[in-house]
Amino acid sequence: MDLNTIWFLLIGILIMGYAVLDGFDLGVGVLYLFTKDETAKRVYLNSIGPVWDGNEVWLLTGGGALFAAFPIVYATVFSGFYIPFMLLLAALIFRAVSFEFRGKVSSPGWKKLWDYLFGIGSLLPSILFGIAIGNIISGLPIDISGNYVGNFLDLLNPYSILVGLVSLSFFAMHGSIYLMMKSEGLVKEKVLPYVNRLWMAFVLLYALTTFFTFFEAPFQFNGLLNNPLFWMLFVLLLVSIVLIPVFVKANKFFKAIIFSSLTIISMIGLTALSLFPRLVPSNIDLDFSLTIYNASSSKTSMTAMLYIALIGMPIVIAYTIFVYRVFKGKVVITKESY
């Protein structure tokens, strides 16, 4: 395996880590929009309070790693997605400060303002990430010299919006399972119906998306069906999707969230596999696509980065697990809580 492929994998892993971890806290934020009860709101907030910030670092590190390993993609895609990207950043800014800001003033108007900003700050990224992936799957207008030549409205095509709804429904489902794990009593009872409905919405939307992908981006399937890795991931995906409601029904929410994590991991795996070795297909001419070879950094740089990842990431994973274990169990509201 060459360095370019290794970095393709590592960035895939960072995106998976982000989707699994920030996925549930974005989902909690989306569900937060639909709860009126103050106790429930505080349980929602504090269920992710100590961990959301660490989760979001997966996004920042993913961005940094993309810059380091595939700078052409970082530059082309981010400048091409300019307006949606600015909206994403605005949403993430409001979301990040709302944890600290919301509880500091006891007026209802103030709380309501930050409730909305936190909820929309979670909803918007959940959809925008899907829209971005949708656009990448269907290909971007990349010209012969590797420049993006489309405009903002091109990005809001029906297929990409459909993928946006897939990511939204998945994150919300993922978040609802997390809430089942962290809450009890009335709060928990109210979350339960969401889990099953969101699961169904997600499965339907995902099936629909896969169907439309055949028409939108048929090239994604070239040679895929002969690849054993495809079938492994496909089986993993099906098994995981089926096991989520099974474990929810059995009241085993930790296992349920493991399988919803495996669901998103295998979905991202499948998408990555169908893209490989392209990173951003061109819908002008597939030969103009940005690939792991024509968009990459030098060998020296990728080697240095590999050392950084190999030294750093095991330590990160170790202490992340440690901190999650400290905060395991049901949310208890104390004086220090949000």
Partner 1 sequence: MDTVLLSRIQFAMTIGFHFLFPPVSIGLAWLLVIIESFGFKRKEEVYVRLGKFFGKILALTFSVGVATGIVMEFQFGTNWAEYSKFVGDIFGAPLAAEGVFAFFLESTFLGLYLFGRDKVSKGVHLFSIWMVTIGATISAFWIIVAGSWMQTPAGYVIKNGRAELTNFWDAVFNPSTVIRFLHTIDAALIAGAFMVAGVSAYLILKNKETELAKRSMKIAVYFGLIVSLLELFPFGHESGREVAKYQPAKFAAIQGLYTSQTGAPLAVFAIPVMPPPELKAKIEIPGLLSWLAFGDFNAKVQGINDFPSNDLPPLFITFVSYHNMVVLGMLFILLMMIATYLLRKNKLWDTKILLKMFVWAIPLPVIACELGWISAEVGRQPWIVYNVMRTSDAISRNVPAGDILFSIILFAFIYLLIGYLYLYLLVKEIKHGPEPALVKEVLS
Closer to partner 1 by Cβ: residue 17 or 134 = 17
Query: Per-residue contact track with partner 1, 66 to 105, x per CB under 8 A?
Result: xxxx-xx-xxxxxxxxxx-xx--xx-xxx-xx-xxx--xx
Beta bridge partners of 278: 291
Does the CA dihedral 27-30-35-40 come out positive or negative?
Answer: positive
327 sits near partner 1 (criterion: CB under 8 A): yes
Coil/strand/helix, residue 336: coil
- Comparing CA positions, the residue from 100, 245, 99, 258 lying closest to residue 178 is 258
Selected range binding partner 1 among 61-69, 211-219, 243-251, 281-289, rule: CB under 8 A: 61-69
Residue 119 CB, shortest distance to partner 1, in Å, is: 16
Work out which of 163, 166, 243, 309 binds partner 1, going by CB under 8 A: 309
Find where tokens 């399972």 sit.
Answer: 177
Q: If binding means CB under 8 A, how many residues of this protein chain bind partner 1? A: 67
Regarding 63 and contact with partner 1 (CB under 8 A), the answer is yes
Q: CA 160: distance to chain centroid?
A: 15
H/E element holding 211?
A: helix 185-216
SS3 for 112-165 is: HHHHHHHHHHHHHHHHHHHHHHHHHHHCECECCCCCECCCHHHHCCHHHHHHHH
Site for partner 1 (CB under 8 A): which residue of 6, 33, 51, 201? Answer: 51
Where along the sequence are the contacts to partner 1 (CB under 8 A)?
49-51, 53-54, 56-57, 59-61, 63-69, 71-72, 74-83, 85-86, 89-90, 92-94, 96-97, 99-101, 104-105, 147-149, 152, 297-298, 300-301, 304-305, 308-309, 312-313, 316, 319-320, 323, 326-327, 334-337
